[in-house]
Structure 1
Amino acid sequence: MKNLLRLAVVLFTTATFAQAGHIMQGVGAVNMSMGGASTAQPLDISGALQWNPAAISVFDNKIIDFSIGVFFSSPELSSTAGSYSGITKDDRGVSPMPALAYVYGKEGSKHTFGVSAFGISGFGVTFPESMSNPINMPQSMNGFGHVESDYMLLQVGLAWAYEITENLSIGVQPTINYAALELAPNPISAPDFPVAMGGTGKGYPTSDKASAIGYGAQFGIFYNSPEGIKIGASYKTAQKFDKLQFTNTYLDGSAAPDVEFAMDYPAILSFGLGYSKGDIDLALDFRQVDYENTAGFEAKGWQITESGPMTGYPTGAVKGFGWKNVQILSAGLQYKGIEKLPLRVGYTYSSNPIDDELAFFSLPATAVIKHAFQFGFSYPLTDKLMLNGVYHHGASDGKTEGPMLSPLAISPTNPYGVVPDTKVGYSMTTDMVMVGVSYTFAKK
């Protein structure tokens, strides 16, 4: 099963970059163009399967939807230490972003079924070593050197929706997930401290790509009134993963102690409103992302030695990201007044999960976008085949910035080890062009 999911990751999540913490704001060309809003306005099957399985009950045909996007990001990592200051730009390049969904519905049936394969989460940076930016200076000069991360999460869901009445539906969607994470250097591992501190000075190791399987579910309810008002709500449980097992190597090629790390996907509560009248479709979603109770994100600070002569001293390994809960607001409008050319605009707002004082711990995961804007369209190629497209632009709206931290500076009055006269920060913009096709096997 793990090998099968690994192959699916290669095909469908070669590289996925999140917009809200490490969560994708939308899935597929249509849902992305509506800012991700779909909990109560199921304009397409991908958005419905991602945000509210109950909403697939509106589809009375067999439909398959596939989208592929080209994603550009431009993170910048800056730092200051004393008289040294510099900026390092990411050189990761372009990344693909696919999504695949299928729904089976039948007119007159109370049951609708769906299956999906989405890249729903990810982050990644590539900051080269620098002699001018203190944070990217070589480890021998107290920097981290080359900083690189690559995280992706593929989720496969099997959905079922049931119409309780003509206007009210419920839905459930068991999910299985495959996640992979690679870090260089690996902050989850304790460094080999300098000789003066009893080590050999090899610093932090780099890791191979560790993977894990996770399980969860999503539940939803959807009400579609005859007057055009729609109401929806859904709850995606935390996706519980096995621990990631890292094999580490020091920069000189020697083996480093292996480590493990628990990193789950947070629970998400979504509420949605929709309205359809004439040529207008409106959608508004609100989401609460529970990072504060999620393994890998709730812990913060440095790991402490629990046994031996150094009991009570920091190891230099990081406990976790220490992220706060995130609130996401998604809004979208579709205008169908132009024949054969529905037009859509969408906006997404996300709060920042990173406290300034803990910004140092999130260097490998800088993909936090506060404002995102989308414009999309559809065009029928035939009576069964629909072409969809979207352009996205996102911005972090300023820099997430805080002091550099060191386990060697920890004291009762300085629990995180703030290094005086230092700061580190990051900001980014994102752009994406995505196209997709939706095929209806038997239109009414």
Structure 2
Amino acid sequence: MYRNIIKLCVLIFSTASFSQAGHIMQGVGSVNMSMGGAATGQPLDISGALHWNPASISAFDDKIVKFDIGLFFSSPELRSTVPEFDTNGQPTGNFFSGNTKDDRGVSPLPSLAMVWGKEGSNHTFGASAFGISGFGVTFPESTTNPINMPQAMGGFGRIESDYILLQVGFTWAYKLSNEFSIGVEPTFNYATLALIPNPTANPTGAGYPSSDKASAIGYGAQFGVFYDSGKGFKAGASYKTTQTFENFEFTNTYLDNSTSTNSFNMDYPAVYSVGLGYSLENVDLALDYRMVDYEHTDGFSTSGWSPTASVLGFGWKNMNIISAGIQYKGVDKLPLRIGYTFSSNPISSELAFFNVPAPAIIKNAFQFGLSYKASDRFSIDGVYHYGASGDATSGPILNPQFIQNYPPYGAIPGSEVSYDMTTSMIMVGVSYTFDKVM
């Protein structure tokens, strides 16, 4: 029953969650996204506060509900080059190159949050359901791009991935004084993953198999501290633990219709965040720094080939993220916001090949948002996002049969695979504040 309820929540709130900062979302909801994701030390809305710093919900003493829905579009492009050989297996000096565009289309991106407390009470509570992580591509089979050639012709054929992570959190914050608050949030997660082909399975003479969509449940927590001077300056820090998941259990089907099963573990990395905020009469400033610890996370910390030629993991480095935003409130009932997010690339060139199914790396993201205060209780929010990966992630094509001559991963001499992408999104949200609880 518990798993079925979670599956329903995934269907509703995480139909297709695609990330821009590694495989994590840079922000949650229209207001937080429009501030570049910065909220650890500047809680402008309950969604950003719940997601980045549980202690900061102490800034709200009303019962507030917020719902957002976005339409997200990404345009990854996959390129590859391989040397050509003659009938004797000798290089001709010519190269075969091509590119394939993703054809996934537009995906919905919802989020739901609620905070409640009593005026004068030191306790504040919250609950949230966010699609916090995901990646997905659909590169169709092609005879003009080496890496997308049919498996019978030496390529991988159609390359498709679909990963979604829904996180449900229950938050409690406590005011130690008028300035300091602490917060804790136990988190419950449900993830699904499908891979075509599935590189975590053992290949046979029929190549790598396609997997069904496997699911896994995970658990973790987030802890935070928040300081509000009462004179404009604010600061916060939070630590989200590794979200530990059970294994994904795949059922695989090969091109010759034979089947197999395999397990793969992929956790969600620990995230360390610090943030500063400053508020004037008509201006709110926010700046966050985050470190995402991929190097100690199952599924990302390992890399390379197993003895049976399956892929051991993505091999990502730790990721650094800077988020900044400014809100201007000088226009009556119409706050305006501009946000920027910078993310480092966790994928090294030598491991670019292993990460073709998960290329959602956006180096620079820009956001513009606004709200309309329809009344003291009701507001409508909107944001437009545009992101670009900057330079393409590139590296050699790898083959386990080449390891002996080209260690450690078997790079094919003269080959290259590269990918880059842009993202765009329009999101709208509504927020409603109930009567104060006395």
Per the normalisation by structure 1, the TM-score is: 0.95
Q: What are the Cα deviations for residues 144-164 of structure 1, in whole angstroms up to 9, with x where unaligned?
A: 000000000000000000000
SS of aligned partner of 1:318: coil
For residues 225-264 of structure 1, the aligned pairs below 5 Å read 225-255=229-259, 257-264=260-267
> d(CA) in 2 for partners of 1:425 and 1:10?
32
Per-residue displacement from partner, 1:358-411 (whole Å, max 9, x unpaired)? Answer: 000001001100000000000022321100000000000020000000011011
Q: Which amino acid aligns with 1:430?
A: T
CA distance in 1, matches of 2:336, 2:266: 39
Could you tell me the percent identity over the aligned residues? 66
Query: What is residue 354 of structure 2 aligned with on the other side?
Result: 361
Note the aligned Cα RMSD (angstroms).
Answer: 0.9
1:33–1:374 CA contact under 8 A, matched in 2? yes
Q: Where does 1:112-127 land on structure 2 (aligned, <5 Å)? A: 112-127=124-139
Secondary structure of residue in 1 paired with 2:137:
strand
The answer to whether structure 1 residue 331 and structure 2 residue 324 are counterparts is: yes
Deviations 1:218-276 (A, max 9, x none): 00000000221001000000000001100000123222x20001100000000000000
Secondary structure at the aligned position of 1:302 is classed as coil
| Residues 278-357 of structure 1 aligned to structure 2 (within 5 Å) | 278-304=281-307, 315-357=308-350
Deviation digits for residues 67-117 of structure 1, max 9, x if unmatched?
000001000000001221001000000000000000011110000000000
Aligned mates of 1:435, 1:136 — CA distance in 2: 37
Using the TM superposition, give the Cα deviation of residue 413 of structure 1 relative to its aligned residue in structure 2, in angstroms. Answer: 5.0
Give the distance between the partners of 1:387 and 1:156, measured in 2 at CA. 24
**Cα distance between partner residues in 1 of 2:242 and 2:172:** 19
Measure how far apart 1:344 and its partner are: 0.2
Query: Would you say the 8 A contact 1:73–1:431 is kept in 2?
Result: yes
SS at match of 2:309: strand
Number of the residue aligned with 2:193: 181
* 1:37-186 pair list within 5 angstroms: 37-82=38-83, 83-186=95-198
Q: Deviations over 1:313-356 (max 9, x none)?
A: xx110000000000000000000000010000000000000000
Between the two proteins, the alignment pairs up a number of residues equal to: 425
Q: Contact 1:34–1:345 (CA<8 Å) still a contact in 2? A: yes
1:31 corresponding residue in structure 2: 32
Consecutive unaligned residues of structure 1, counting only runs of 5 or more, are 193-200, 305-314
Q: Secondary structure at the match of 1:124?
A: strand
Give SS of 2:306's match.
Answer: strand
The residue that corresponds to 1:5 in the other structure is 6
1:20 aligns with 2:17: no
Deviations 1:183-216, CA, capped at 9 Å, x for gaps: 0000001110xxxxxxxx2110000001000000
Q: Does 2:206 match 1:206? A: no
Q: Contact 1:171–1:219 at 8 Å: present in 2 too?
A: yes
* Structure 2 match to 1:309: none
Moved more, 282-291 or 376-385: 376-385
TM-score (norm 2): 0.96
Q: Which of 428, 431, 436 does residue 421 from structure 2 map onto?
A: 428
One-letter code of the match for 1:206?
S
